[in-house]
Structure 1
Amino acid sequence: MTHFYAQSRDNQLSSFDTQTDYSQNNQQANDLPQNDNERVFEKNVCIYGSSSALTVVTTKTKTDQYHTLTIEGARSLENKPRYYQWNDKIILQLTRSEIPYFIGVLVGMISKAEFNNHGAKKNKSMKIEFQGNKFFMNITEGGKKAVAVPISLDDALSLSLYAIDIYMRNYSNLSPEIVLKLISKTLSKKVVKS
């Protein structure tokens, strides 16, 4: 099941009815309103499975402030399905070269993508794959148990629209159609492993 939450940049969750959405404006944090009723909210996508859950949030790369996605995965407690260990989550940020592959899988341009050698220890990885009637995402880190979550077609659609929206922030002068055509052409010429 996918859930969209409004989350301020200071990680406070709030309801949609009292918020002002500045996500279309690319303002710096210093320029943002300080009043609680005017905080900037970003959506995130949560996908829950019986043994694991994912949260996908928008972030920027440290080096060049490129808009991308960070994927957080948590396993459920052994004796409590649907209660997740967010204090022991695996966090993986997609690079600027990986986000087109992620989108490509979700929109059916390619069937799978793998992203390896993430994190300071280069011990994090993620795989997303289309499996006929659903998608499947697997995130690993070193000695931790893998976080594996099936993603329904409906949830994949929500996730793909979210990912495209975030990716488009880097190319606001181009239409989504042009960006998807460019991603498609690029992916048709490359191997699916990153």
Structure 2
Amino acid sequence: MHFDATIVSTQLTALNIPVPLPTILGEIYDIEGEVFTSSIDSASSGDPVAAAYLRGILFNVLPAVSPRLKAAKFDNPTLPVLIRIGKTEGPKFSKVLKSWVEAGCPADEHGQYLETVYKRAQVECNTSPISGDHQVHACSVMEQDESDAGERSDESADRPYINRHVYGARVAVCFSADLTRNQSHTIRIEAAESSGERSYNWKDKVGIQLSPRELPGVLATLLQLQTRFDGKGHGAQNEKWFTLENQKGKVFLTVNARGQNGRSLPIGPGDCFEVVTLLMGQMLRNSPFLTSESLLSLVKRTASMSNEPGSTQ
């Protein structure tokens, strides 16, 4: 997919969301991929979750954020770290940072919150200070600042973008909330290979958006209600697919793309729980008339159908 920073800048301006330089937009796209561009389309159609995702990232790469972090004696911030913070905390982090620094960086719960969030993001990204366009100080906002850059009164503006990460020795996988072109809530799976100790090459990730009809089978497999699920026919040329398979004490995931090695890792009980809650949340958003109990009852039934001889997924 071709990324056009000029078009994206125009779309963000229309949404009243901070617009960084085109080079920074390109770096964000390199890191986030199609989730970033599809979220802009969804936000333009009125989706509050997509708008919250964008606001979370872009408010945290405002040009004022970097000097404030330095004033607070945090390590030199990098773009991946601030993107991670924006996705988990929304605009809250930059707002708390602003008020805390202006108050003189007192030893209080706000400072503790900022330090905890920042260090956690550093560990998750495993980043170190880097040069060039990745440096946050290279980011500027086109004729906007924090006082007028898209402030809204609705509660959805501060909702975080939800995702779950599972890390293995050679592969890491991100499960994130996503929207289809038909505005159905679903899950996106992105798999990246290791590029070093506790470091992963997310720029070369393989991403697959699950179709709504795949969600029950994926949930049933994660709950070990069925032994295996095969997700086939993904990508413009049907060049991507994934499998989930139950093994003793874990669920084994493999993400594939034609011409590339399979990216596999085991998902243990704790990580399964996190992914299951994310998955159930998306399914309940598609069917708000269901309760958690009725959803699980339906999934158990469809799993039993899948386990019958001759069944198709």
Distance across 2 between alignment mates of 1:176 and 1:19: 30
Whether contact under 8 Å (2:226, 2:306) holds in the other structure is: no
Matched with 1:136 is 252
CA radius of gyration, larger in: 2
**Contact 1:113–1:127 (Cα < 8 Å) also in 2:** yes
Please say if residues 229 and 245 of structure 2, whose CA atoms lie closer than 8 Å, have aligned partners that are also in contact: yes
Count of residue pairs brought into register by the alignment: 173
TM-fit CA distance, 1:162: 1.3
Residue identity opposite 2:301 in structure 1:
K
CA distance in structure 2 between the aligned counterparts of 1:17 and 1:68, rounded to whole angstroms: 20
Q: Which runs of 5+ in 2 are unaligned?
A: 1-49, 58-83, 94-148
Higher strand share: 1
**Structure 1 CA distance for aligned equivalents of residues 222 and 207 of structure 2:** 20
Please give the residue correspondences for 1:1-194 in structure 2 after superposition, counting only pairs within 5 Å. Answer: 8-10=52-54, 12=57, 13-14=84-85, 16=89, 19=92, 34-35=150-151, 38-62=157-181, 64-77=182-195, 80-190=196-306, 194=313
User: What amino acid sits opposite 1:9 in the alignment?
Assistant: Y
Greater helix proportion: 2
Match of 2:267, SS? strand
5+ residue gaps, structure 1: 1-6, 21-32
Normalized against structure 1, the TM-score is what? Answer: 0.80
Offset at residue 17 of structure 1 (A) = 9.1
- 1:190 CA drift (Å): 3.0
Q: Percent identity?
A: 24
- The question of whether the paired residues in 2 share the 8 Å contact of 1:113 and 1:193 is answered with no
Higher relative contact order (CA 8 A, sep 6+): 1
**What is the Cα-based RMSD across aligned positions, in Å?**
2.5
**How many Å apart are 1:187 and its aligned residue?**
2.3
TM-score between the two structures when normalised by the length of structure 2: 0.51
Report the secondary structure of 1:185's partner residue: helix
